[in-house]
Structure 1
Amino acid sequence: RVVGGSEARSHSWPSQISLQYYSGGSWHHTCGGSLIQRNWVMTAAHCVDRTMTFRVVAGEHNLSTNEGSEQVLGVSKIIVHPYWNSNNVAAGYDIALLRLSSSATLNSYVQLAVLPQAGTVLPNNYPCYITGWGLTPNGQLSNVLLQAYLPVVDYQICSSSSYWGNTVKQTMVCAGGDGVRSGCQGDSGGPLHCAVNGQYQVHGVTSFVSGNGCNVQRKPTVFTRVSAYTSWISSVSGGF
């Protein structure tokens, strides 16, 4: 996934989930997501805006083996942000909440994500990590959860003409863009983790990368900025 990333220590990101769809008699990983309540998952709108049967797997590390820590949870309701427009990802609002048909059991493998305070904007070069099972340089999904260090690129830089220009909005977070490490397809919907006051918080939901490739210089990975949507998240999921 995470291009230029390395394998994460097993279960070191316990709020990360695998969003999977059913096709041809089996389940396939399509996106990441974050467990924000025992029965709610936060992901990207573009991951769920087509009609499919989805499930969530929490406590996952290696997609290809049963490690005994997984919890498979059905999805009973998909709530996409009302302003999301699948024909205009650059408008923003690439966020969705999934209500689960049963509640996850919290343990050392499965934990709730901590969300940032409303309105929090991290400064340029703030250290963060992206995690996911997305496409690796050989074009395959990774079996194991990968992570990569992606420092924040602030809005002023990210929206400049040599970066993303007006494609990027203030409701987004940019990170990376060194031409080596980035997110990629299959990481979508997954988290950007940033430590604030000694605690990792999920500040971004992976939204898009450059059409020219996943790790293009001056085209950082773009995330939905979670702190711009905290009141919507609260109103839908009934608080954190």
Structure 2
Amino acid sequence: MGYLYPGRVVDAAGWGQISDESPGLVDELSYVPLSIIDQYECQTVFGSQLKNSMICAVGNYNEGICFGDIGGPLVTPALIGNHSMHVAIASFMSQNGCESLDPSGFTRVDSYNIANDLTNKLNYVTMSIIDQFECQAYYGDIGGPSVTPTLIGDYTVHVAISNFMNQNGCENTDPNGFTRTDVYHDWIIKAMESTRIIGGEVARAGQFPWQAAIYKHTADGNYFCGGALITEQWILTAGQCVDGAIQFTIKLGSNRLQGNDENRIILSTSTYVLHERFNPETLAHDLGMIKLHMPVTFTGKAVVVLLVKNYNYIIIDYVQSIQIAKMGYIHKGAPGTAAGWGQISDGDYTKKRHLSVIYAYILDSPELSNDLNFVEMTIIANYECQSYFGNQLTGAMTCVVGNYNEGNCFGDIGSPLVTVATLVGNASRHIATASFISQNGCESLDPSGYTRTDSYYNWIT
């Protein structure tokens, strides 16, 4: 006993299927780190069949066991000086399939007093990634990038795109042809930034790598919110976006909610913290935090696309956290950037809403934007905002407006307001969380309401 508790990281290994569509065993042993979840959370999937001698584990994405993995061991990771310990045996999985976000089921071995002092270790080998040129010699060249070698302290630079070769064949000594990207630098940048929250523009890849799409599942329905990744394991959002939740599905790394995107990661969790003074009627203290089962891996500088013109670099990160701002960033006239997947017009949906505050977006309307949109806004004085929202506006709230009718809409609640990063080395800061809009609709000239995060800095951190 003592090895299995919620949050404990363990490893599962096996030769089972690696996808629902690919039946059959795999030739190589695969493994994945998982996190133990509590019995209550697991029973929401498997019901009363779950006994005390069973345990469930999940990954941050859809990792887990599949057909052919039953009977395989669940073990503790081997730390320096320690051996792995056999803690459970793979036993069952969800009827929704191997690639669902449902947990995997195991039989605990400590419940059966089985001798589990394992001394043998899995073998492993260190391997090296090959560069694009060498790989393309096997799998083709057209469309592949040409890059400069990476030196210590430098980034790989994209300089050309493979375009043509001599008709005499691939094995002759004729040179290969490339299209230079530095010649098209301005066109590439414009294309990244010009593709089109209310009055906003479509965000380019990696522009808001902390942005999280949150699907909240409750006993009475499903809801959509935004959020921000603030550490490797925590997402900050509005309190109304976690209140009453049973389960969350979270998407990171992609600006699009639907469609193919190799940078998108999908996670599932049920752990959250709601501010203890949250008031669902007035939206006072409207903050909540969602904890992932395990830390996510930041793409950092490891996943980058770099274009060159006079050695000006553009770095694209797909999953990164954002730092919470302390006092001093919020004042009248200060600029801020809002981003979200909410409605981009009122349509007919806002006619159903009559309150001056709104809650997490109900997923029974097709009005969400598939593309992440952003807009530049300006903070206004609280006395000015109170002329719209009255006494519900507290000192821990702030309001923003655009030049026209830019602002938040249904589906943007929980999304961050961030400082504009314009100086070299000056990163964006999370300064507020979207909380409410005017009852006059998203396209009105009324301001958008936020909960200040600097007022809750100590609670968040």
Measured against the shorter chain, the TM-score band is: 0.7 to 0.9
Distance, in Å, in 2 between the alignment partners of 1:145 and 1:40 is: 21
Query: Counterpart of 1:37 in 2: which secondary structure?
Result: coil
- CA spacing shift, 1:179–1:195, aligned 2, 3 Å: closer
Residues 345 and 443 in structure 2, CA contact (< 8 A), matched pair in contact too: no
Residue among 328, 333, 348 paired with 1:125: 333
Kindly name which structure, 1 or 2, has the bigger radius of gyration based on alpha carbons. 2
Instruction: Tell me the secondary structure at the aligned position of residue 150 of structure 1.
Output: strand
1:105-162: CA deviations, max 9, x gaps? Answer: 1012000111101x33522121111100001216411000000111111223223x3x
Structure 2 counterpart of 1:165: 390
Residues 191-221 of structure 1: CA deviation (Å, up to 9, x unaligned): 111137732111110000011201322x311
Aligned residues: 224
Which residue is 1:80 aligned to?
A: 274
For the residues of structure 1 that align with 2:270 and 2:244, how far apart are their CA atoms? 15
In the TM superposition, 1:92-171 aligns within 5 A as 92-107=284-299, 108-117=317-326, 119-137=327-345, 139=347, 140-159=367-386, 161=387, 163-171=388-396
From the superposition, tell whether residues 53 and 109 of structure 1 become closer, same or farther in structure 2 (CA, over 3 Å). Answer: same
Match of 1:175 among 390, 393, 400: 400
Displacement of 1:43 in angstroms is: 0.3
Determine if contact 1:94/1:207 at 8 Å carries over to the other structure: yes
Aligned to 1:6: 201
Distance 1:22 1:209 in 2: 23
**Which of the residues 426, 447, 450 maps onto 1:223?**
450
In 1, Cα distance between equivalents of 2:212 and 2:261: 15
2:211 maps to 1:16 = yes
The 5-angstrom pairing of residues 57-76 of structure 1 reads 57-76=251-270
Judge conservation of contact 1:205–1:224 (CA < 8 Å) in 2: yes
> Which residue identity lines up with residue 257 of structure 2 in the other structure?
L
Q: For 2:249 and 2:392, how far apart are their aligned partners in 1?
A: 31
Q: Distance in 1 between matches of 2:342 and 2:427?
A: 25
Give the counterpart letter for 1:143 in structure 2.
Answer: N
**Is residue 346–residue 442 contact of structure 2 (8 Å, CA) maintained in 1?**
no
Q: Which has the higher contact order (CA 8 A, sep 6+)?
A: 1
Alpha-carbon shift at residue 15 of structure 1 (Å): 0.6
SS at match of 2:454: helix
TM-score, scaled relative to structure 1: 0.86
Opposite residue 61 of structure 1, the aligned amino acid is N
Secondary structure at the residue paired with 1:157? Answer: helix
| Aligned residue number for residue 42 of structure 1 | 236
Read off the aligned partner of 2:325 and give its amino acid letter.
Answer: P
Partners of 1:178 and 1:220 within 8 A in 2: no
Gaps of at least 5 residues in structure 1 are 235-240
Structure 2 unaligned blocks of 5 or more: 1-196, 300-316, 348-366
CA deviations on 1:63-97 (whole Å, 9 max, x unpaired) are: 111311012222241110000021222xx200001
SS of residue paired to 2:323: coil
User: Percent identity at matched positions?
Assistant: 30
Which structure shows the higher strand fraction? 1
